[in-house]
Amino acid sequence: MAKGDLVNVYKKEMELAKKAGLTEILEERRSKSSKQEADEEVSAPPTEVVTFEISGIEVLDLDDAVNVLWREKVYAQSGMGCTGPVVMVSEANSEKALEILQKAGYVSED
């Protein structure tokens, strides 16, 4: 670490990240998180067998994505798939869940 001058490299990278808007992104994320925590507690809809995986959701957003689906009365679970974090729903609710998550900004339309 000393040979690679890690401390100075870290400082330079943080300066560049802050110039690129890192602070604003983090603040936006914190305020969004706080707002969702302030919302009323959401209870899970009746349990269903979940076999359809929706990938591409940031691991830190998994619980929020599941709560968004629960608010719309779609049962979902979070988990880890072969390639990373996933939200799992029933086959019957797969299209509806994708639509809800797209509108909420958790997954892209591709």
Active site residues: 82
What is the total residue count of the chain? 110
What b-and-e string marks burial along 3-27, b requiring 16 or more CB atoms within 10 Å of the CB?
eeeeeeeeeeeeeeeeeeeeeeeee
